[in-house]
Amino acid sequence: MLSPVGALSNGLELLADENIPEMRRRCLELLEQSAQISADKLKFFRLAYGAAGGFGEDVSSEEPRELIAALIRANERLELQWAVAEPRLPKTAVKILLNLGAIAIDALVRGGTLAVGAERRDGATEIAVRAAGPRVAFDPAIGKALDGTLAETELSGRTAPAHMIRLLAEEHGGGLQYAVTADALIMGAVLPDQAA
């Protein structure tokens, strides 16, 4: 959030001192972009980490697609492949899907493809997220948080989302798993429907 909010502040300062119409127009465009990025991130945080009031027990699968697409929109080196056929997903599944998506985006430091899939079958919601690209960067501490081997004293802002979704999955009778190579990170979750 610091980057887009900082850009808003800087843009307002520039706008206050600018008298050339073309430069004022450009400042307004930058302010609009920064405001949109800030709004997108706040929407993401609300659904990924918050109570997400206003949503029922199930959430339209269009919501997480739009939020993940917004996160990667400004990065031309990233491509989103969305394979979620379900029209609605349990709120807990959406939280896990969004957080796995954010972890995957962070791993694609040199660009690549983010593939997200989810389906309900055999009494459970299954989620799969794959980040593929050159030299995937995956912090082993995030892996430990996902599999439950990271000590709580080692939690940080970087590992807390993985820790949170592992706890959510376990609380709902499900689990997480991941595999990483030099050019791909694959993460998945299974949540039983009756508890998701």
The Cα–Cα gap between 42 and 20 comes to 33
Q: What type of residue sits at position 69?
A: A
- The secondary element (H helix, E strand) that includes residue 126 is strand 124-132
Q: What is the pLDDT of residues 87-104, one digit of tens each?
A: 999 999 999 999 999 999
Confidence of residue 11 (pLDDT cuts 50, 70, 90): low
On whether the CB atoms of residues 119 and 156 are closer than 8 A, the answer is: no
Structure confidence at residue 143 (pLDDT): 97
Question: What is the pairing mode between strands 112-121 and 78-84?
Answer: parallel
Q: What is the pLDDT of residues 111-126, one digit of tens each?
A: 999 999 999 999 999 9
pTM score > 0.85 for this model? no
**Could you give phi then psi for residue 154, rounded to 5 degrees?**
-95, 0
Q: What is the pLDDT of residues 120-157, one digit of tens each?
A: 999 999 999 999 999 999 999 999 999 999 998 899 99
Average pLDDT of the chain to the nearest whole number: 86
On whether the CB atoms of residues 176 and 188 are closer than 8 A, the answer is: yes
User: Where do the domains of the chain lie, and which CATH numbers do they carry?
Assistant: 2-41 (no CATH), 57-192 (3.30.565.10)
Structure confidence at residue 6 (pLDDT): 57
